[in-house]
Chains A and B, each alone.
Chain A
Amino acid sequence: KNQVEQSPQSLIILEGKNCTLQCNYTVSPFSNLRWYKQDTGRGPVSLTIMTFSENTKSNGRYTATLDADTKQSSLHITASQLSDSASYICVVIPLSGGSQGNLIFGKGTKLSVKP
């Protein structure tokens, strides 16, 4: 069964510190892997999109890595800010004829950045 598991479930860090969020998936074959940021009560916003052949992708202070052999991805946040407090969701898109109808979502890591 296609699954995406994330750890930790929640994380509290101090402003200015770095953190790394983990994602393990069993989706195979897959087309691409995405990290989304979801503020409370809002829709997810895309941070990074990586195809299976990419190892790393950056977007400002966010850097995502992908190891397709071990089926693991991570999202590293540098110099955290209070506005980084949100849920971070790992999403895997199965390779299904090139379409992207069925995104497989992880449950997310709830990050709290404290002053």
Chain B
Amino acid sequence: EPEVTQTPSHQVTQMGQEVILRCVPISNHLYFYWYRQILGQKVEFLVSFYNNEISEKSEIFDDQFSVERPDGSNFTLKIRSTKLEDSAMYFCASSELGRSYNEQFFGPGTRLTVL
């Protein structure tokens, strides 16, 4: 069964460093998403992406964040200058279409630790 994959599973970085989290969505899906979950907190929406551009973003997704689909398979989240409070699980998701009833499939997540 096709699934969303994410790499790395765990990333440790120093405060102020740039990190890139990678995701491979399900191949025939057109809509891509990033979420984060701070330890013990609820999952929070960051951004949705379609047709090579951001379609929606939350207040969390400020200028420090960017997303890109560099090729036909990868979808990346870049954090330019990491802060301690960026430590969280980051989940990528994809859906076949972007309608509200379309199911989103989540990847296993990348645990980001900022020291």
B100 adjacent to A93 (CB under 8 Å): yes
Once A and B bind, how many residue pairs between them come within 8 Å at the CB atom?
72
Q: Does A46 sit at the interface, judged by CB under 8 A?
A: yes
CB distance from A85 to the nearest CB of B (A): 18
Q: Does A98 sit at the interface, judged by CB under 8 A?
A: yes
CB-CB contacts below 8 Å: B19-37 with A: 33, 35
B103 adjacent to A49 (CB under 8 Å): yes
A42-B109, A43-B4, A45-B106 known; A101 vs B101 contact (CB < 8 Å): no
Per the bound structure, the CA–CA distance linking A106 and B44 in Å amounts to 10
A42-B109, A43-B91, A45-B106 known; A100 vs B98 contact (CB < 8 Å): yes
B104 adjacent to A100 (CB under 8 Å): yes
CB distance from A87 to the nearest CB of B (A): 10
What does the 1/0 interface line of B78-114 toward A look like (CB < 8 Å)? 0000000000010101010011111111111101000
Q: Does A16 sit at the interface, judged by CB under 8 A?
A: no
CB distance from A90 to the nearest CB of B (A): 10
Q: Does A105 sit at the interface, judged by CB under 8 A?
A: yes
What does the 1/0 interface line of A96-107 toward B look like (CB < 8 Å)? 101111111111
Q: Does A51 sit at the interface, judged by CB under 8 A?
A: yes
B108 adjacent to A106 (CB under 8 Å): no
Residue on A with the closest CB to B9? A41
B99 adjacent to A101 (CB under 8 Å): no
Per the bound structure, the CA–CA distance linking A41 and B107 in Å amounts to 11
Per the bound structure, the CA–CA distance linking A96 and B107 in Å amounts to 25
Per the bound structure, the CA–CA distance linking A44 and B33 in Å amounts to 13
A105 in complex: contacting residue of B43, B89, B100, B107, CB < 8 Å: B43
Give the B-binding residues of A (Cβ under 8 A).
Answer: 31-32, 41-46, 49, 51, 89, 93, 95-96, 98-108
**Nearest 7 CB-CB pairings of A with B:** A101-B56, A43-B106, A101-B48, A31-B100, A100-B100, A105-B43, A107-B42
A-B contact pairs, 5 of them (CB 8 A): A42-B108, A45-B106, A46-B103, A103-B104, A106-B42
